[in-house]
Amino acid sequence: MASPPYRLPPALTERWAAARWPTTLGRRSLLRAGLSVPYVALAIWLDLHGIRSADNVRLEHAAESLGSPVTVGAMAHAFPPVPLAIARVLPGGAAALGIVGALCAGGILQLAWERLVRAQVPHWLVAVLLVGVGGAPVFWFNAVDNLVGFLGVALFAVAAAGMLDFLYLGRTSGGYAAGLSLALAVLCDPAALVYVGSILVAVPFLAWERFRNEPSSIRSAIAVIAFPSVAVLGAWAFLEWRFTGTVHHPLTLAPRAFTFPLGVTGGFLRAASHVGWQLLAAPIFAVTAVLLLFRRPVAFLALVAVPLDLVVTVWLGLHPSTEQGLVLLDLVGLLAVERRPGSLVSAVLAIETVAGLACALVLTDAAGTGQLLHVLGL
């Protein structure tokens, strides 16, 4: 007697619409280009006034130090390889890297806009949220100033969106996109190693609603998302070992990694306090987290993995900038906005988003955005 056919658990399509927005790749590309225009203009303006990003200048010099032609032995020392490859190929130096970051900013905002439209968020609230995040100094400063960190955050956002499509809509392509994006993030920023961990911690909680009776499916989902990152890490470690005799070169980008100058406990408490202040300046994340706590407690546990990720990153000494952490929290908050928010929730989100702009200005590193605001006369 033949066994009954196996059926996958139904997709949770009530979470948001399955159709992409805009519907065609051409329209999505045009929207991304349009959203990136202000950031590209800012990058060009800064270059014309001789204002260069220290982070992007260091990346430019690192790419030039690889020599010509680039040998395999030299590439073994070239971490992070993806930003270095971009800096190596593009003419224009640090200015071109700022434009690349500006283009990434447009892509991130289109991704968030699409997610909000598919969640049937009111149009006026979509506008407020996007302006609140994309118009914040911490966002545009990261976009044009720190290609390494911004690429890592952007790829994390792509991975999170793909993971949600994979788990809730049953899109295999979403799982592939999540896995590949995380792998690229690891090759962009050492801090992305902890991003991968937070995604893997979140998967069981997010997958519980759909695969609660299929534990093996949860393990399979983790494997699909984690395998590319494990593969690229293993390949890079082998390459470095083969040509340099060590696999620790990536940590040279974070000289304070695993040093714990305040002690293990003291360092952890300081990292938790640091991220706590960031949460106060990321009201979109805070509001969506509170809503999830009362409406979908299991999914709330997945969302908590993001600030915990930041705490661990700071504690271990990988230390993403304050601005980078704020951008990450804001983007995750946008992706987690509930479907069809009511009028009260919409009003709270709008008020908190506007208030968050003021908080971000106050809490941003004075040597970063504050300096740029002074240069711009703001």
Average pLDDT per block of 10 residues along the chain, 378 residues long = 51 61 89 95 90 86 77 69 88 89 94 91 93 87 88 89 85 88 86 78 80 74 86 83 70 62 81 83 86 85 86 76 81 88 89 76 49 42
Question: Structure tokens of 187?
Answer: 């090759």
CA distance 272 to 278: 10
Q: What is the pLDDT of residue 37?
A: 95
Question: Would you mind telling me the total number of residues written for the chain in this entry?
Answer: 378
Question: Structure tokens of 162?
Answer: 């793909």
Question: Structure tokens of 333?
Answer: 């908050």
Distances (CA, A) of 73 to 70, 81, 237, 243, 265: 8, 13, 13, 5, 40
pTM for this entry: 0.85
**Residue 91, preceding bond cis, omega within 30 degrees?**
no
Q: What is the pLDDT of residue 369?
A: 46
Burial of 349 (0-12, 13-18, 19+ CB in 10 A): buried
The helix/strand/coil state of 261 is coil
DSSP string over 70-81: PPHHHHTT--SH
CA distance 138 to 213: 43
Q: Where are the beta strands (DSSP E) in the chain?
A: none
Closest CA to 166 of 182, 154, 153, 150: 182
